[in-house]
Amino acid sequence: MRQLIIIGSGPAGYTAAVYAARADLKPLMFSGEVAGGQLMNTRVVENWPGTKEGVMGSELMMEMREQAKKFGAEIIDKKVNKVDLEGKVKKIWAGKEVFESRAVIVATGAESIMLGVSGEKEFLGRGVATCAVCDAPFYREKTVYVIGGGDAAAEDALTLTKYAKEIFLVHRRDQLRASKIMAKRVQENPKVKILWNTELKEIIGKEKVEKIRIMNNQTGKEEEMVTDGVFMAIGHKPATEIFKDQLELNEKGYIKTKMSYPGVTTTSVKGVFAAGDVVDWHYQQAVTAAGMGCQAALDAERYLEDKNE
């Protein structure tokens, strides 16, 4: 019987592991098949506090992993495929193995929705980005393309206007899906040009992104456009598939937490806490995820100390 199991790595999971291990909870973490989450695909993180020169996303995640292990966290690089969170004893399956604990922290994160076009994965972190707030400063006075038509795409395009020389918003329909106010801001910004009824077909380059191939879905005409970067802004999908029948989710599929004291990371099930991008669909930053990981560990510690639980 474990005191605490953490499902998922990344800033939220690793921070939770550090705090829980220092509290002598001897946490067991399942890091998933790709440990470290989305930051493993991020080039330089310049907005992580205390790193004046910036830090490689993968390097930051490995440092956090080693820090958690230093204090006694046990990490298994396997994906959790099934859970039973009801009752005082929580059951977690990794493959055919079952593990039991008194408390669980879910930090499985969310992944950017991708199109599956050629070059998309190959150039991730080398001209293909999924977070304008994170990467926009790298494109100062450059030409970029934003793919999407919802609020995420509108926000990314507007963020990029502070840095990029010109921004092209590629949308497959003839009107934006974004909220009226966001759509209005984008359409009125002189730096943003919207390519209506247009689809991304391919991302082209050698060492980094050099061009994209786009198609007008009304005429069938294809063009190759020179660009310095491509921002995929179609949205995010939370990794909550195995929790659908276990925890209360919101309309977007993210885990609902109380978000009020005491126990801000408490979910709809006693003894289960959630942190990071699996909860937060708004900010989705490494530092906010880490902060929630800290909260989840402290909430779990208090829960485990309560003799009535």
CB 4 within 8 A of CB 102: yes
Residues 6+ apart with CB under 8 A from 308: none
What is the C-alpha separation between 10 and 62, in angstroms, rounded? 10
Catalytic residue check, 135? yes
- Which residue of the set 135, 156, 280, 299 is catalytic? 135
Q: What DSSP state is assigned to residue 124?
A: B
**CA 103 and chain centroid, separation:** 23
Instruction: Give how far Cα 265 sits from Cα of 2, 50, 96, 270, 294, Å.
Output: 20, 26, 29, 11, 10
**ω into 11 cis (within 30 of 0):** no
Catalytic residue check, 156? no
Q: 150 is written with which tokens?
A: 């919802």
**CA 19 and chain centroid, separation:** 21
**CA 83 and chain centroid, separation:** 22
Residue 205: enclosing H or E segment and its boundaries? strand 198-205
C-alpha dihedral over 96, 101, 107, 113, to 10 degrees?
Answer: 30
- Which residue of the set 24, 77, 84, 134 is catalytic? 134
What is the C-alpha separation between 209 and 186, in angstroms, rounded? 25
Q: Report the DSSP beta bridge partners of residue 7.
A: 30, 106
Residues 6+ apart with CB under 8 A from 273: 103, 104, 105, 106, 257, 263, 265, 266, 267, 296, 299, 300, 303
- Which residue of the set 24, 77, 84, 131 is catalytic? 131
What is the C-alpha separation between 58 and 124, in angstroms, rounded? 13
Write out the catalytic residue numbers: 131, 134-135
